[in-house]
């Protein structure tokens, strides 16, 4: 398969669908998605669709990955690394982690399924990403040690944003998360205006796997 051509076509498709930030489009082009998908689906790596990665989880649709990333870095059009630290809830196979790593000083990522966390670490090392830290942990509880983040991104849907995540968001920080149940979900974009004040914006309809509590060792 000609991955180079496929990556160019995917980037073009995402641009036509509304992704405008050239930095995000370049990240989608540069990060080899085929290194993150299950070998069974390699030929579909650059189709704009989610794909199974095992453990009843998926690698997100490229458009959604690009859209969520674009929202987090908006307003910093001249800055190549507009974010300091980012917390990701739901590492999965590590693809979103790799995209985020291009725009921040460091990504801290939590995954409740041990096998996926280990696989993501392998995938990220394989594509040369270095500015990340992974933890096998319950993402609904936030980062396990006291820490504040410039941005938080959730890659699984939850009925409401956990208070712990809001607490770990820096002042003026941004959080994006799919909110809803298995049938109806939307992206929620939240900005922290003060310690207890948040501005919420409801965005596109989406479909993500649910965010679950606890840890799974497999």
Q: Which of 15, 43, 60, 194 is catalytic?
A: 60
Whether 60 is catalytic: yes
DSSP β-bridge partners for residue 201: 189
What lies within 8 Å, CB to CB, of 170 at 6+ separation is 148, 149, 150, 192
DSSP β-bridge partners for residue 169: 149
User: Are 176 and 68 in contact, with CB atoms under 8 Å apart?
Assistant: yes
What lies within 8 Å, CB to CB, of 134 at 6+ separation is 91, 97, 109, 110, 111, 117, 120, 121, 124
What lies within 8 Å, CB to CB, of 5 at 6+ separation is none
> Where in the sequence numbering do the catalytic residues fall?
60
């Amino acid at each position: 398969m000609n991955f180079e051509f496929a990556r160019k076509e995917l980037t073009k498709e995402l641009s036509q669908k509304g992704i405008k930030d050239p930095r995000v489009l370049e990240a989608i082009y540069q990060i080899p998605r085929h290194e993150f998908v299950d070998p069974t689906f390699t030929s579909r790596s650059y189709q704009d669709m989610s794909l199974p990665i095992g453990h009843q989880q998926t690698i997100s649709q490229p458009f959604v990955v690009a859209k969520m990333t674009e929202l987090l870095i908006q307003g910093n059009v001249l800055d190549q690394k507009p974010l300091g630290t980012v917390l990701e809830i739901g590492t999965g196979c590590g693809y979103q982690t790799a995209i985020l790593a291009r725009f921040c000083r460091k990504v801290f990522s939590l995954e409740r399924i041990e096998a996926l966390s280990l696989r993501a670490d392998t995938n990220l090392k394989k594509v040369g990403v270095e500015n990340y830290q992974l933890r096998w942990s319950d993402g609904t509880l936030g980062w396990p040690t006291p820490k504040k983040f410039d941005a938080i991104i959730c890659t699984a849907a939850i009925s409401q944003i956990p208070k712990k995540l809001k607490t770990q968001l820096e002042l003026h920080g941004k959080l994006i998360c799919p909110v809803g149940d298995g049938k109806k979900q939307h992206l929620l974009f939240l900005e922290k205006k003060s310690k207890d004040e948040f501005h919420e914006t409801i965005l596109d309809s989406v479909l993500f796997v649910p965010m679950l509590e606890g840890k799974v060792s497999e």
